[in-house]
Chain A
Amino acid sequence: MTIKQKLCLLAGASLIAFSTSAFAESTVRVTIAEYSKGTGPYFEEAARAFEAANPDTKIQIEVVPWDNLQQKLTTDISAGANADLSIIGTRWLLDYVKESIVAPLDEHITPDFKARFIDTFLSPSVMNGKVYGLPIAASARAMYYNKDIFAKAGIDTPPATWADFKTAAEKIKQLGGETYGFGLQGKEIETDVYFYYGMWSNGGEIVKDGKSGLDSQAAIDTAKLYKSFIDGGLTQPGVTSYSREDVQNLFKQGKVATVITAPFLSNQIKAEAPNLKYGVAPIPAGPTGDKGTYGVTDSIVLFENSKNKEAAWKFLDFLFTTEQRTKFDKVEGFLPVNAEESRDPYFADNADLKVFTSLLPNARFAPVIPGWEDIAQTTSNAIQKIYLGEGEPEATLKEAAAKINETLK
């Protein structure tokens, strides 16, 4: 090798070194909650597509199971080792905003960008007039019912009210065998929410005028109603050992005739129990016609201590293009948050999703209060006691409400 060749090589090498330092100068780390086994691959693919268009930015995706997300964020943030962007439950957002952990996004948001969203889904992430997160995932709840079981019991339509529902469940019980009318969740995450479905129908609220609504007449009536389902053998036995996934599995196996859950169950049924004949209906209404569904969004937030806010924003902008949103919501079975996306035939002509979107005007989002998880746990504990018959509904709920009022102060 001549000296000239060596020099050339050296120059080439330094050029490569220089170019990498010039182009790949920022790395954006993104913490992603794993909704399903498709979540990780989707975000990896999106990151690669973004990198191809923006060679000066590297996207590093970190996928965490939902159950560990809070723990990971808490430890990362307290050590100052958090990512630039992260998915969080919008119901936790206030705690983050109060401590100035997350950055407002308003300086980046153009009217055009804002116009991409369906307003219902963006508004939960708005606090003190500022946008602190973008709705990465959205869902609502409705009642899935098993058409075969309903037909066998001689019921033609899904129940419109809780009274109808109870009659229907009794008819299903009379079929004999181990099939139950009401799949009732009594364990782990969202045990409280499963109770709120009935409470909203009875006209109750989680928080009213800064006080817990758990000691309201609506809540007490709901507790008695659910307990009468349990005592009458109209739910699966041992409700406190069934988490949301467990009840969904019972539904797929045809062991419970109904389950109240999110749109993603449709995707699961398609994959795991394609022969199941089911329909989707609104959650039954209460005696005065009140009804409600739970609207949930998860937000993707930008951390205040991020050193790559510009690059991170660009990636957010990319994730919320119609094309990317459509891909993601198809993978996960979530509701479209993007107005243009919702007109895509996949969503617009989907019978199941239509029911969910029709419920949105009545959707209750988690109230903007500090300590949501604390309140959720107190509520779940009280409800479990009632389900188990260890606590009288009224006294147990009043005690829980007093505890929640302490948290709300």
Chain B
Amino acid sequence: MQRATAPYILILPSFLLAAAIILWPLKEIVSLSLHDVNRFGMLRDFIGLEHFRVLFADPDFIAATWRTLVWTAAVVLGTLIVSVPIALILNEDFYGRGFARILIMLPWAISLTMTAIVWRWALNGESGMLNSALRGLGLINTNIQWLAEASTAFPMQILIGILVSVPFTVTIFLGGLSSVPDDLYEAAATEGAGSWDQFRLITLPLLRPFINIAFVLNTIYVFNSFPIIWATTQGGPANSTDILVTYLYKVGFRIGRLGEAAAVSLIMFAILLVFTIIYVRLAMREAKA
């Protein structure tokens, strides 16, 4: 009896804390999303799922949802693909490795908003550094207006997203690589395995749990990431680079429809929750097999 209750008593304080900072706001948001709310957050009539109906009838919301999925998938996969080789190189012993590591990690030390604003300047059509660099190299003759339309702005935003996600991901991978014992490679080398086989058969499987965690954490961060898109285009022109967070901000704080904004945030929460559960399930099944 005593043994059965003790764990619950011990986790009770942290449970209460978590409940206070997670469950209570959640309850508030649910209630906002089901009521008619004025622009200052005062509740009026209960209107059921009306806010959700309005959202799903809004083509901008549907477009922003799809764009969020593209944005998340592109940034997360791009980050993983870029980070694995970087981590492998930084794990090798070479002259100037410390310096190289600092260079790769440096973007992490700068706030995301600052990075995004610097990129906004760099991407400026008439006085941006990117255009003048490309012209200096003779690659283009006329300035490219990077942020003028989604077809150039959105890919650049994804590239910036990858750039800022790399340091964190590389750090996780470096931790993973340092836990791979060297004698595995020595044994493999004596058996005649080339470096590609060593990577495929030893490094990648042992790095697997680290890739998983980097995948899940990056997905959550990137899905909810606001500064890059807001600082460069504010989701424009004409909502063509909006993702769900920027859409949410506009609906909530620009236009002042707090009820709809609450509904958007619940939908985002649900998407992330479903995604994470599926992913954790898959990862666990794999681990058992």
Given A186-B237, A377-B254, A384-B236, answer yes or no on A237-B125 (Cβ-Cβ < 8 Å).
yes
On whether the beta carbons of A74 and B237 are closer than 8 Å, the reply is no
Given A74-B40, A95-B39, A390-B238, answer yes or no on A238-B127 (Cβ-Cβ < 8 Å).
no
Residue-wise interface mask of A (364-382) relative to B, using a CB-CB cutoff of 8 A (1 in contact, 0 not): 0000000101100100111
Residue-wise interface mask of A (130-169) relative to B, using a CB-CB cutoff of 8 A (1 in contact, 0 not): 0000000000000000000000000000000000000000
Closest to B146 in A: A241
On whether the beta carbons of B126 and A239 are closer than 8 Å, the reply is no
Set of chain B residues within 8 Å of A373, measured between Cβ atoms = 254-256
Flag whether B250 is at the interface (Cβ < 8 A). Answer: yes
Q: Which of A23-31, A109-117, A245-253 contacts B (4 or more CB under 8 A)?
A: A245-253
Flag whether A288 is at the interface (Cβ < 8 A). Answer: no
Given A74-B253, A241-B147, A377-B255, answer yes or no on A249-B127 (Cβ-Cβ < 8 Å).
yes
Please report the C-alpha to C-alpha distance between residue A79 and residue B28 in the assembled complex, in whole angstroms: 12
On whether the beta carbons of A250 and B126 are closer than 8 Å, the reply is yes
On whether the beta carbons of A240 and B126 are closer than 8 Å, the reply is no
Least Cβ distance of B117 to chain A in Å?
12
Flag whether A101 is at the interface (Cβ < 8 A). Answer: yes
Set of chain A residues within 8 Å of B239, measured between Cβ atoms = 381
Interface size class of A (residues with CB under 8 A): 35 or more
Within 8 A of A (CB), among B251-289: 252-256, 258
Cross-chain contact of A240 among B143, B236, B252, B253 (Cβ < 8 A): B236
On whether the beta carbons of B234 and A241 are closer than 8 Å, the reply is no
On whether the beta carbons of A178 and B40 are closer than 8 Å, the reply is no
Please report the C-alpha to C-alpha distance between residue A99 and residue B44 in the assembled complex, in whole angstroms: 12
On whether the beta carbons of B126 and A236 are closer than 8 Å, the reply is yes
Set of chain B residues within 8 Å of A101, measured between Cβ atoms = 40
Set of chain A residues within 8 Å of B233, measured between Cβ atoms = 187, 241
Cross-chain contact of B237 among A77, A255, A371, A388 (Cβ < 8 A): A388
On whether the beta carbons of B255 and A71 are closer than 8 Å, the reply is no
On whether the beta carbons of B143 and A237 are closer than 8 Å, the reply is yes
Please report the C-alpha to C-alpha distance between residue A249 and residue B250 in the assembled complex, in whole angstroms: 26
Residue-wise interface mask of A (63-84) relative to B, using a CB-CB cutoff of 8 A (1 in contact, 0 not): 0000000110011011100000
Set of chain A residues within 8 Å of B142, measured between Cβ atoms = 237
Closest to A376 in B: B254
Set of chain B residues within 8 Å of A70, measured between Cβ atoms = 253-254, 256
Interface size on B, residues (CB 8 A): 31
Least Cβ distance of B36 to chain A in Å?
13
On whether the beta carbons of B38 and A371 are closer than 8 Å, the reply is no
Least Cβ distance of B223 to chain A in Å?
21
Q: Tell which of B147, B238, B253 has the most Cβ of chain A within 10 Å.
A: B238
Please report the C-alpha to C-alpha distance between residue A99 and residue B41 in the assembled complex, in whole angstroms: 11
Please report the C-alpha to C-alpha distance between residue A380 and residue B238 in the assembled complex, in whole angstroms: 7
Please report the C-alpha to C-alpha distance between residue A249 and residue B42 in the assembled complex, in whole angstroms: 42
Flag whether A329 is at the interface (Cβ < 8 A). Answer: no
Residue-wise interface mask of B (216-255) relative to A, using a CB-CB cutoff of 8 A (1 in contact, 0 not): 0000000000000000011011110000000000101111
Cross-chain contact of B40 among A78, A241, A374, A382 (Cβ < 8 A): A78
Residue-wise interface mask of A (219-246) relative to B, using a CB-CB cutoff of 8 A (1 in contact, 0 not): 0000000000000000011111110001
Flag whether A309 is at the interface (Cβ < 8 A). Answer: no
On whether the beta carbons of B125 and A238 are closer than 8 Å, the reply is yes
Closest to A180 in B: B126
Set of chain B residues within 8 Å of A211, measured between Cβ atoms = none
Please report the C-alpha to C-alpha distance between residue A329 and residue B123 in the assembled complex, in whole angstroms: 34
Please report the C-alpha to C-alpha distance between residue A381 and residue B58 in the assembled complex, in whole angstroms: 14
Flag whether A385 is at the interface (Cβ < 8 A). Answer: yes
Closest to A387 in B: B237
Please report the C-alpha to C-alpha distance between residue A178 and residue B239 in the assembled complex, in whole angstroms: 29
Set of chain A residues within 8 Å of B41, measured between Cβ atoms = 74-75, 77-79
Please report the C-alpha to C-alpha distance between residue A239 and residue B148 in the assembled complex, in whole angstroms: 7
Please report the C-alpha to C-alpha distance between residue A75 and residue B153 in the assembled complex, in whole angstroms: 31
Cross-chain contact of A384 among B40, B238, B252 (Cβ < 8 A): B238
Set of chain B residues within 8 Å of A74, measured between Cβ atoms = 39-41, 252-253, 256, 258
Closest to A382 in B: B238
Residue-wise interface mask of B (110-124) relative to A, using a CB-CB cutoff of 8 A (1 in contact, 0 not): 000000000000011
Within 8 A of B (CB), among A356-409: 371, 373-374, 377, 380-382, 384-385, 387-388, 390
Known: A74-B39, A99-B39, A241-B233. 15 other contacts (CB 8 A): A74-B252, A74-B256, A75-B41, A99-B38, A187-B236, A239-B148, A240-B237, A241-B125, A246-B124, A253-B126, A371-B256, A377-B250, A384-B237, A385-B237, A388-B238
23 residue pairs from A and B, CB less than 8 Å apart: A71-B253, A77-B41, A95-B39, A95-B256, A99-B39, A178-B143, A188-B236, A237-B125, A237-B148, A238-B143, A238-B145, A238-B147, A238-B148, A240-B236, A241-B124, A241-B145, A242-B125, A250-B126, A253-B126, A380-B238, A381-B239, A388-B148, A388-B238
Q: Enumerate the 3 nearest inter-chain pairs by beta-carbon distance, A residue then B residue, closest first.
A: A238-B145, A78-B41, A238-B148
